[in-house]
Amino acid sequence: MVRNLYIHIPFCSKICPYCSFYKEQINRNRIYAFLDALLMEAKKVCFQPEAVFFGGGTPTVLSCQQLDYLLRGLSTCLDLRRVKEWTVEMNPATVSAEKGRLLLDWGVNRISMGVQSWDPGLLAVLGREHTTDQSKRSYDILREVGFSNINLDLIFGIPGQGIEQWRDSLSKTVLLRPDHISAYCLTYKEDTEYFFRLMRGVYSQDVDKEAEFFEVTMNYLEEVGYCQYEISNYTSPGKECLHNLGYWRGEDYIGLGPSAFSTVGTLRWNNVADTVEYIKRMNTDGEAVHFRERLSPATLRTERVLLSLRTREGVPAHLLREHEERLQIFFELGLIEASGETIRLTRQGCLVADSVAEAFL
């Protein structure tokens, strides 16, 4: 049974040089054609979602009128009675009380906001369009209008960032008491400006420093009461993100919008990563699938292992039966531990999670 729905809004007002998500600079002339195409695709959804996630891009770069148009349309073509969690991603530059109220009125009950850093200099390095004051103001607005479940995204390993600057960003975040914190290590993805800078030697990567940042994050956030339930995700009691949990547990999900992936049983498909093409295909063919595949049981099992290995829940032991020898070595090295019928990374193991995961490929 499918329970998870992802909706991709591919627009941003400014493109960040490190970001590899499918997005484009917002073109105000195309918005309604895009929203109509999205609603056309939503009409084909025939399950009752329990977790809805609006990601991007920046969904809230849409104006209040455009968001109202989208949410009104979705509420007529989807059965939203079973929704427990409805998340919308925001950039601090796109928050207003009016927008917050509108989202709440339509049933959105969780916000994920990209603060990234509380250091003005590092925000400039990241090419962010908002200031730290704006992040604080936007957070306060969201609380004032009534959101009781807010995640803040942070990034560490930013070029030039020192460990004290990172500690400072963490403690400023914690002072706000968000319900959930995602702390990502900066990745240099191909086709981003940051990747080209890395290739040209403008930037360099220091894996030891990244591990130190990560260790500081784990220690500090756990010390102040957040539970690390996935390598990059920390929660207050009961505020785990249902949408992400579903994904890590290998549950089925449907994704709408350009570039969105869907997985149902052994079938996986994704939509074209091109907004103009997406609109055209929805209007001519009634679908915009770019690629479909049937996943083998072995591929599904490997994916499941790799995703759940990053979580506190861990990997169901039966999925690792064929890796007995390696498991033994990791046990002896203190990198993994058994907990009931599951196997999970130890604190030490979290620091080298990618290497452990590679061994199970």
Ligand X SMILES: C[S@@+](CC[C@H](N)C(=O)[O-])C[C@H]1O[C@@H](n2cnc3c(N)ncnc32)[C@H](O)[C@@H]1O
Binding site for ligand SF4 (CB under 6 A): 12, 15-16, 19, 21, 23, 56-58, 91, 114
Q: Tell the smallest beta-carbon distance from residue 287 to ligand SF4 (Å).
A: 25
Q: In a 10 Å sphere around its CB, with 0-12 CB exposed, 13-18 middle and 19+ buried, how is residue 109 labelled?
A: middle
Put the strands of the sheet holding 110-116 in their side by side order. 227-230, 233-235, 180-185, 150-156, 110-116, 85-90, 51-56, 4-9, 253-256, 261-264, 267-271, 289-294
Identify what 184 binds: ligand SF4, ligand X, none; CB under 5 to 8 Å per kind: ligand X
Binds ligand X by CB under 6 A, chosen from 10, 49, 100, 114: 114
Q: Tell the smallest beta-carbon distance from residue 266 to ligand X (Å).
A: 28
Stretch of 15-23, 65-73, 100-108, 233-241 contacting ligand X, by CB under 6 A:
15-23
What's the number of CA atoms in the CB half-sphere (13 Å) around residue 116?
27
Nearer to ligand X, 21 or 331 (CB): 21
Identify what 189 binds: ligand X, ligand SF4, none; CB under 5 to 8 Å per kind: ligand X
Given a contact cutoff of 8 angstroms between Cβ atoms, the answer to whether 136 and 123 are in contact is no
Nearer to ligand SF4, 19 or 216 (CB): 19
| E-assigned strand segments in the chain | 4-9, 11-12, 24-25, 51-56, 85-90, 110-116, 150-156, 180-185, 227-230, 233-235, 253-256, 261-264, 267-271, 289-294, 315-316, 336-339, 342-345
Comparing C-alpha atoms, which of 294, 330, 332, 333 is closest to residue 314? 330
- Region of 57 (left: φ > 0; alpha: ψ -120 to 50; beta: rest) is left
The answer to whether residue 89 forms part of the interface with ligand X (CB under 6 A) is yes
Binding mask 306-335 for ligand X (x = CB under 6 A): ------------------------------
Given a contact cutoff of 8 angstroms between Cβ atoms, the answer to whether 11 and 57 are in contact is yes
Given a contact cutoff of 8 angstroms between Cβ atoms, the answer to whether 91 and 130 are in contact is yes
Binding mask 169-208 for ligand X (x = CB under 6 A): ---------------x-xx-x-------------------
Nearer to ligand X, 55 or 100 (CB): 55
The answer to whether residue 58 forms part of the interface with ligand X (CB under 6 A) is yes
The answer to whether residue 91 forms part of the interface with ligand X (CB under 6 A) is yes
Identify what 15 binds: ligand SF4, ligand X, none; CB under 5 to 8 Å per kind: ligand SF4
Q: Tell the smallest beta-carbon distance from residue 202 to ligand X (Å).
A: 16
The answer to whether residue 230 forms part of the interface with ligand X (CB under 6 A) is no
The answer to whether residue 82 forms part of the interface with ligand X (CB under 6 A) is no
Nearer to ligand X, 39 or 186 (CB): 186
User: Would the CA dihedral through 141, 142, 147, 150 be positive or negative?
Assistant: negative
Q: Tell the smallest beta-carbon distance from residue 84 to ligand SF4 (Å).
A: 25
Match 């959105």 to its residue by tokens.
Answer: 108
Distance of alpha carbon 31 from the chain centroid: 23
Q: How many residues bind ligand X (CB under 6 A)?
A: 17
Q: Tell the smallest beta-carbon distance from residue 342 to ligand X (Å).
A: 27
Instruction: Supply 342's token pair.
Output: 């599951």
The footprint of ligand X (CB under 6 A) covers: 12, 18-19, 21, 55-56, 58, 89, 91, 114, 116, 153, 155, 184, 186-187, 189
